Amino acid sequence: MNFIEATYILRSKKDKGENYLDICIKKISIFNSKIAVDRKYIPEITERDIFFDENRKIYEYIFKIRYPIVLFEHNISSILSVLQKVVYCGYEDEIVLVNIDLPSCYIDHFSGPGYGIEGIKRILNIEHKPVLAGYISPFVGIGSDRYVDIFNELALNGLDILLEDTSFIDDRLVPFHKRVEICLRRCEDIERETGRKIVYIPVLTGSVGEVFEKARFAESIGVHGFHIDIDPYGLELVRSLSEATEGLIAVSGGIFNSKQIEGAVLGRLLRLAGVDILSISSPFNENRYMLSRVYEIVKVLTDRWESILPVFPMLSGFVKPFDIPDIHKEFGNQVVINIQDSYYNHPEGISAGVTAIKKALDCIVKGISLEECRKHSKELDMAFSKWGKY
């Protein structure tokens, strides 16, 4: 019989004793032999260790549970439903799901990303530098003309990927069907005029039915991908969208803020669901994730994993020009740098803000210091004057 193996950490201020884990999980129906009468289908603890953290003065119970594969359907919802039951049985104690191992026979039922890192780089014709992305925002109160102006300023000044912000909920002023046609045509015009490819990724909002209707329309006119906020829609809708469309799927949201599931586990499940580009908070901005945590997430997104293609990590946040050297040093060319909307705060506006960051990236890739680079770029020099030095 094949198994899914999950690793958990239970943290407690008290020493619960060696039998505590057994007592805890037997409260869950699938572990209770009086309910699940066929013992071969009952999950079991296969490993356990207890440590005392002197610094935090807490006990850590690290344990692995082996779940028979027959407990799961071939969807991500069933994985989360079963594995999270243990997370919620701790009551006053914290239990965190920190790792999962899936057998090949189970992974084979999932398609994973449709494009992966190399597929997206081929579309953009980019090989030896990071991909530069940004959000088209704000949306509140603007009409079609202003929307197109913002799109043009971002596209013409160096962004490779333009994503619509997930906060775009009410699109009556700039209707979805109208704006995707306009933006797609502008991308085609820019490619003819400059030879530079731009990927436009509109956001999908509304009811589940509306999400799929918008995706079908956008795909029919040639849109390459879609942006989804994972928080309201969940992993299973992302998987369904990935399998129902040919476009690449970009996902963002606060999913990595979960206290019950480690980011690396969620990253693995999102990869299984078919995400092509995944937004992760940059470790070099104000909303800092620990660099080690970002490394762990990036590793599960990009390491070789059966036949599942790698996900393109997108480091997001209020990225400034002097963040670029750190990002390039730590993550090289295998990353999307999402400057998000920092360009709106440049003293000379959107165009100058994008130009400053694009110039910074070009210099770093060529091995030129930003101090030297700013001498030849008014936009970059003004960005330094506003935000300080790195």
* Buried-state track 356-376, b at ≥16 Cβ within 10 A, e below 16: bbbbbbbbbeeeeebeebbee
**SS3 (DSSP) at 217:** helix
Answer yes or no: do 39 and 58 share one domain. Answer: yes
Backbone angles phi, psi at 66, to 5 degrees: -100, 120
pTM of the model: 0.93
pLDDT at 386: 79
Residues 221 and 335 in one domain: yes
153 and 80 in one domain? no
- Supply the pLDDT for residue 137: 76
Task: Calculate ∠ Cα 300-7-281, nearest 5°.
Answer: 40
Number of domains, the chain: 2
Q: Are residues 102 and 164 in the same domain?
A: no
Q: Helices (DSSP H) in the chain: which residue ranges?
A: 20-25, 76-87, 104-107, 116-124, 144-156, 176-194, 208-220, 230-244, 263-273, 291-302, 324-331, 350-366, 370-374, 378-387
| pLDDT score for 47 | 93
- Check: CB of residue 287 under 8 Å from CB of residue 130: no
- Residue in this structure with the two tokens 């490993």, named with its chain if needed: 47
The CATH number of residue 198's host domain is 3.20.20.110
Q: Under a CB-based contact definition with an 8 Å cutoff, are residues 117 and 301 in contact?
A: no
Query: What is the per-residue pLDDT for 289?
Result: 75
Q: Which mean pLDDT values do the consecutive 10-residue runs of the chain (390 residues) have?
A: 92 84 82 69 90 89 94 94 88 89 95 94 91 82 82 90 83 86 93 92 94 96 94 94 94 89 95 96 77 93 95 91 91 91 82 90 92 91 75
DSSP structural state of residue 304: -
The pLDDT value given to residue 37:
61
Helix axes 230-244, 263-273, angle to 10 degrees: 30
CA–CA dist 79, 367 (Å, integer): 45
Domain that holds residue 278: 116-387
What is the predicted pLDDT for the residue at 99? 96
- 203 and 160 in a single domain? The answer is yes
Residue type, 46: T
Together in a domain, 332 and 183: yes
What pLDDT is recorded for position 390? 44
> CATH number of the domain that 87 lies in?
3.30.70.150
Looking at the structure, do residues 214 and 344 belong to the same domain, yes or no? yes
Strand order across the beta sheet in which 94-101 lies: 44-53, 58-68, 3-12, 94-101
Q: Verify that 242 and 351 share a domain, yes or no.
A: yes
Cα–Cα distance for residue pair 260/9, rounded to 1 Å:
10
